[in-house]
Structure 1
């Protein structure tokens, strides 16, 4: 069995002269919560629509659960639960009635799944209240319930927190983590807000103007955004020795250009400076650096603009 739930190879979607997706090579492993991030119009929804069979690529290939044949993809897409754009709700029906309609449409046997799913998303006690009277957060959870009704292996959510208040965002985050942890559900979430996904995702794909700029794990992202002292001295090798021996730290990196990144002593720059100068080193640069998640994304996107 493939370790990948979803893979694409040179996936391209073109509308007349414009590329919605341009040679996308995306990999999503089983058990991940994959944060798919990009500005509005970057191509996120197009990618998700192709993955769920709601749209078709112009060229390239897509693989689901280790298979690429068109016949198998149709079957594989039945193993996916998805909310693409707004959840399809019947406003004059209760939560239970909404799920019953979708159960019948999907041919799911038995009604036990309705109660179980409503309990899972926290809507079991909504009684006769109609969906049109639900709060936005409740509507999002009902949409999620519809996506989960068939007990999918792979969950795709397109901008699921749009319009939610902070409490609604927290509730949704807790629920997704629970589904991932307890049911082993693989999740793909698109958003244009990196800080929102940072508390949830285990890996990321960053897309801009139809191009996948980068894929990285949450650990790799944290390392890139980690606060540090950027130090440049006239003798980098000696500088590293001073940090290790005089300051008793190994929490630093020496970059290819000789610059050192020191991840502790952030609040004690004077001690670092003194240790270096006392050992005869000339400090050419010393500053505190580190991106916020938003600035990292902005720099990455800004760099792509000028390629």
Structure 2
């Protein structure tokens, strides 16, 4: 079995003179929750539209389930579920009726999948209530139900928490985690709520001005964002010895430029400073550092905000 659900090879999309996506290479393995990060206009939605067949690439290729599009586009569509932009809902129908329409459109045999999917997204109790009277959170869950109706292996979600209140965001996050954990669904999700992605994704791709500028795992991101004391002394080797022998810690790193990153003693800077100076070291710099995903993203792409 191929380990990769999705791989893109120099994926490019041009609109007249504008390049929306430029030579993007993304790899997503089975079982991952891949968070796609980028400002509005960075190319996130364009990429998702290309993957789901709603648009066609200007260059490069898309490999789904080990086979290159467009040769397996129909087969791949059956194994995927997606919410791109606003889900297509019929406001004067109930949740059940909405799913029945989509079941027929997708050619899914039997109605058993409808009740099962409604239960999965906690909409079993809506009965004959019309969708136009649903809350935004209920509509988002119904959109997710449509994407899940065919029991997909690969789920693609474009801003699924957009407009939800804090409780709705938590419910959506827990539902996606449960699908991934219990059903093994691989998820590709874009969102501008970076703190939410940080709690959800196992892998991240950062896209800026149509280019993928970094891919990293949650472990790698946490390491980059981990709170620490940043220490520069005139003798880094002696500084490391003092930390290990006098402060009895090995929870530090010596960087290539000689900077010491100490991950404990965050609330006891005075003890660290005293230990270093008592051994004749000159402290050139001492500060507490560490990023949130938002600040790491801002530093990477420039600017203070993720639009």
TM-score under structure 1 normalisation? 0.97
Whether contact under 8 Å (2:81, 2:148) holds in the other structure is: yes
Is 1:38–1:44's contact at 8 Å kept on the other side of the alignment? yes
Unaligned runs of 5+ in 1: none
Aligned residue in 2 for 1:263: 263
What aligned pairs does 1:200-211 form with structure 2 within 5 A after superposition?
200-211=200-211
- 1:110-129 deviations in whole A, cap 9, x for unaligned? 00000000000000110110
Aligned-partner Cα distance in 2 for 1:71–1:4: 17
Aligned equivalents of 1:119, 1:110: Cα separation in 2: 16
Displacement of 1:75: 1.2
For 1:204 and 1:222, the matched residues in 2 are separated by 11
Deviation at 1:290, TM superposition (A): 1.0
For residue 193 of structure 1, report the CA deviation from its aligned partner: 2.0
Conserved? CA contact 2:156–2:188, under 8 Å? yes
Aligned 8 A contact 1:137 1:168 in 2? yes
Correspondence 1:218 to 2:218: yes
Which residue number corresponds to residue 97 of structure 2? 97
| Aligned residue in 2 for 1:282 | 282
Q: Report if the CA contact (8 A) 2:229-2:289 is conserved.
A: yes
Give, in whole Å, the separation in 1 of the partners of 2:110 and 2:291: 51
- Change over 3 Å in CA distance of 1:58–1:191 after alignment to 2: same
Counterparts of 1:1-307 in structure 2, within 5 Å, are: 1-302=1-302
TM-score by length of 2: 0.97
Cα distance between partner residues in 2 of 1:300 and 1:81: 31
- Equivalent pairs counted in the alignment come to 303
Q: Deviations over 1:87-110 (max 9, x none)?
A: 100000000000000000000000
> What do you get for the CA RMSD once the two structures are aligned?
0.9
Specify every segment of 5 or more residues in structure 2 that has no aligned partner in the other structure, as ranges: none
**Secondary structure, counterpart of 1:206 in structure 2:** strand
CA distance in 2, matches of 1:46, 1:164: 23
What stretches of structure 1 move > 6 A for 4+ residues in a row?
A: none
